[in-house]
């Protein structure tokens, strides 16, 4: 179970970081979402993985720690709100700049910009 869990967290985080480094806002938002999923699972695992244990000290030899679940709940709520905000912000960026590049406009390619200058006569 531990191996599977670790692989899932690793895959989510790696995909999240990859998408985060893309130049368009949609992949960036997706990346942030995946990253927050990975983080939530990681936080959940910080209380150790155990099944069929009671969350009460002293009732059994091993107990399942309830605190990380409370932490994860908080993190999920905050992460959800942040995702909603970043989606709206990306849409505003798209509307303002008529482009969904994270810098507002793609970096001008040297050859293209020269051509453009000739075309516009500047």
Partner 1 sequence: MNHWLIAPIAIPLLGGILQTFMGYAPISLRRTLAITTSVLVLVASIVLVGLADDGSYRVYAFGNWQPPFGIVLVLDRLAALMLVLTSVLAVFAHIFSIGGADEGNRQFHTLFLFQIMGLNIAFLTGDLFNLFVAFEVLLIASYSLLMHGGGTIRTVPGLHYVALNLVGSAIFLIAVGMIYSVTGTLNMADLAVKIPQVSGENLALVKAGAMLLLVVFGLKAAILPLCFWLPKAYAKATAPVAALFAIMTKVGVYAIIRVYVLIFGEGAGELASVGMDWLFPLALITLSMGVIGALGANNLKTLIAWQVIISVGTLLAPVALGSEAGVSAALFYLLSTTWTVAGLFLVAELVAIQRGSAGDRIVTAPKMPHRTFISVLFMIGAVSAAGLPPLSGFFGKVLILKSAEPGPQMAWLWSVLLVGSFFTLIAYSRAGSILFWRTIDGHIKPPEPMKNVVSVSTGALIGLTVLIVAFAGPINEYTVATAAQLFDTSAYTQILETPMFGGKN
Please give the residue ranges that form the binding site for partner 1 (CB under 8 A): 20, 25, 28, 32, 35-36, 38-40, 42-43, 45-48, 65, 67-68, 71, 74-75, 78-79, 81-82, 85-86, 89-90, 92-93, 96-97, 102-104
Cβ distance to partner 1 smaller for residue 106 or 114: 106
Helix (H, G, I), strand (E, B) or coil at 122: coil
In angstroms, what is the minimal distance from the CB of 78 to partner 1? Answer: 5
Cβ distance to partner 1 smaller for residue 80 or 113: 80
Q: Are 19 and 31 in contact (CB under 8 A)?
A: yes
Distance CA 76, CA 42 (A): 12
In angstroms, what is the minimal distance from the CB of 42 to partner 1? Answer: 5
> Comparing C-alpha atoms, which of 42, 62, 43 is closest to residue 52?
62
Distance CA 109, CA 104 (A): 15
């Amino acid at each position: 179970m531990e191996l599977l869990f670790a692989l899932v967290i690793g895959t989510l985080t790696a995909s999240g970081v990859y998408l985060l480094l893309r130049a368009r806002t949609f992949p960036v938002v997706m990346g942030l979402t995946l990253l927050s999923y990975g983080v939530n699972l990681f936080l959940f695992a910080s209380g150790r993985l155990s099944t069929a244990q009671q969350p009460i000290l002293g009732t059994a030899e091993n107990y399942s720690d309830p605190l990380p679940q409370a932490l994860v709940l908080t993190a999920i709520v905050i992460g959800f709100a942040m995702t909603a905000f970043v989606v709206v912000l990306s849409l505003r960026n798209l509307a303002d700049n008529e482009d969904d590049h994270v810098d507002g406009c793609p970096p001008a390619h040297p050859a293209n910009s020269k051509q453009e200058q000739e075309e516009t006569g500047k």
